[in-house]
Amino acid sequence: MMKSDSSEITATARLLDGIRSPADIKALREQDLPQLAQEVRDELVKVLSQTGGHLGPNLGVVELTIALHRVFETPRDRFVMDVSHQGYVHKMFTGRLDRIATMRQYQGLNGFLLRTESEHDCYGAGHAGTALSAGLGMAVGRDLRGGDENVVVIAGDAAFTCGISYEALNNVRAHTKRFIVVLNDNEWSIAKNVGAIASYLNNIATSPTFAHLHDKARRFVEAIAGKSVAEFAHKVEESVKGLLVPSVIFEELGLRYYGPIDGHDIPLLIRTFEFLKTQDEPVLLHILTKKGKGYEPAIKQPDKFHGLGKYKIESGETAPAPTPTYSEIIGKTLSKFADTNQKIVAITAAMPSGTGLGHFAKAHPDRYFDVGIAEEHAALFSCGLATRGLKPFLTIYSTFMQRAYDMIIHDIALQNLNVALCMDRAGLSGDDGPTHHGLFDIGYLRHIPNFVHMQAKDEDEFVDMLWTMANYNSGPIAIRYPRGAGTGAKPKPEPKLLEIGKAEVVQHGRDVAIFGLGNMFEVAEEAARKLEAQGLSVALINPRWIKPLDTGTLEFFARSVSVVCTIEDHVLHNGFGCAVMEHLYSQMIHTPVVRIGWPDQFIEHGSIPVLRKKHGVTADALVEKILSLLGKKPSAQSSAA
């Protein structure tokens, strides 16, 4: 009986349940911290199996996060996490454990750090490469204000494929003396890291010389543990010199380099951070971690478990999509086109699986280029390819294409190069939230000269558009398409060329004309049925082309009906509906225009149906606005419809 009771207590009394703030981590015995790490991993695997999220990155930083909160004092000290998708453990330790099951759910915890969510989140982010510059700004701000808090930047090795990171590193030594950078090296961003920097870091980690230095570093740190750093300052300096190899790039950039050390060794991490926070010079600690540590499916498939939906804990299996996603379609379609068109090349920025280009990479490895998280370089690289007569398909999420905006204007459009922009995740990106919603690309492309821009209503038309892009040789051309699956429309065996700037009139009508752009065409169809139930005659148009507009079709219907309506998965400001209004105004056509789209604010995270209903991006909202404009009240028949 006693044994049973004891087992029951052990099973129910978790250390993790007692963590309400970082002070509780400091209060634990050091020998209990590995147990805490295991409990955190168990909680992550359990919770994210129901909510989805960035499992692999968080499993890899458990010990690191424990050590950081053991040594430093947030919110006074600042933790700046690059991308911040690895911040779930930090959230658990800073008063949000009881809400961890709401991760990425509507009105729940955000999947990234968020300044408005907690005082412990000093900087919000969702894109890579931002932490070093932001952290340096915080350090300089501290110095100017006469503070003494620590600024710790935690950046994965993938962040060091970003040019922004090196722009920051170039300035660190000149601007501050106290700055701690943690290089979390797990060899992965979303996909396996590529390029010279990844090889360089791998050489450091695997070199026999550095393996010897790693052991020497451990003994050194352990030797000073618990003793006055001031007393050993001169020994520290001399010992460090003996540990370093002069060619370490970070030393050349002005940061004292330490490592590599085991990023899962909690005592070693604690002793190292205790030492580093006393240093009066910028330092970089190189730690080696394993993405997905503690959960075998995540270790075997680190790209899949970087970020995913719900899964079965036992196997890691996820539910298959009912129909192919747009990302899968583009990867397979471009591969097929490239079989007969030797000019087609495909470029992505560290997202072969997310963009579907993994299919292209297997079929045409010599014409596939993953440049790492370097969108600016990807755009310029595409320009160079285009000048040599190739047809580059630059495939990047809409929200990440923003990072290459200058190149889109100055290099692609100004030179009228035949670069095809394929903007995945255009529109709402649901549970990833405002850092990932692709709600601005119409606005940032439609005013640029030389560009053609389009969006398909379904998968069949999507393939036709890709075929049109492959055969378009008059300058830059762009396509936007949503995350996930479409309507299930099966593409034809042979794609057809679409006439640039020509919309598809699906049905004619006398009272209302609805222009439903891309994935919102389904919503337009639903609204048309409801309006027809009110006795209205509704024209339904699939615009296809954002730029150039089919002005002939637009003017015809604007002169024929009482109300024109546009609906788009984009912000209303400078969106498709705005383009429609501008053109009608320029032609002195005064037919009222009802626009449905996202408001002038950053949209929170949550499921797409919930967010659409909240913000009025629905068929019901469209119907209500049109009926109100026409002075009609909805009938019971319409409500039933």
Count of other CB atoms within 10 angstroms of residue 387: 11
Cα–Cα nearest to 299, from 325, 351, 257, 264: 264
Q: Per residue in 37-85, pLDDT tens?
A: 999 999 999 999 999 889 989 999 999 999 999 999 999 999 999 999 9
Alpha helices in 93-184 (DSSP H): 131-145, 163-175
Cα–Cα nearest to 411, from 451, 440, 367: 451
Residue identified by tokens 């970070």 is: 250
Please compute the mean of the pLDDT values over residues 169-185 and round it to a whole number. 95
pLDDT at 217 exceeding the cut of 60: no
**Which pLDDT value is given to residue 303?**
76
Name every residue whose Cβ is closer than 8 Å to that of residue 93 and which is 6 or more positions away in sequence: 19, 21, 22, 25, 65, 66, 69
| Beta bridge partners of residue 426, listed in sequence order | 438
**Which pLDDT value is given to residue 202?**
64
Give dist(CA 84, CA 117) in Å, integer: 13
Give dist(CA 443, CA 284) in Å, integer: 40
Higher model confidence: residue 516 or residue 299?
516
Confidence of residue 197 (pLDDT cuts 50, 70, 90): low
Confidence of residue 248 (pLDDT cuts 50, 70, 90): confident
Instruction: Please identify every residue annotated as catalytic.
Output: 291, 375, 403
Q: Hey, which of 182-186, 251-255, 431-435, 506-510 has the most confident mean pLDDT?
A: 506-510
Q: How many CA atoms lie within 13 A of 45 on its CB side?
A: 23
Write b or e for each residue in 265-289: b if 16 or more Cβ atoms lie within 10 A of its Cβ, otherwise e: bbbbbbbbbbbbbebeebbbbbbbb
Cα–Cα nearest to 575, from 546, 609, 534, 536: 546
**Which pLDDT value is given to residue 204?**
61
Mutual orientation of helices 208-224 and 233-243 as an angle, nearest 10°? Answer: 170
Does residue 380 sit in helix, strand or coil?
helix
The lowest-confidence range among 226-230, 337-341, 512-516, 611-615 is: 226-230
Q: Per residue in 428-465, pLDDT tens?
A: 998 899 999 999 999 999 999 999 999 999 999 999 99
Could you give all domains of the chain from N- to C-terminal order, each with its CATH number? 13-306 (3.40.50.970), 326-480 (3.40.50.970), 505-631 (3.40.50.920)
pLDDT at 525 exceeding the cut of 80: yes
Name every residue whose Cβ is closer than 8 Å to that of residue 320 and which is 6 or more positions away in sequence: none
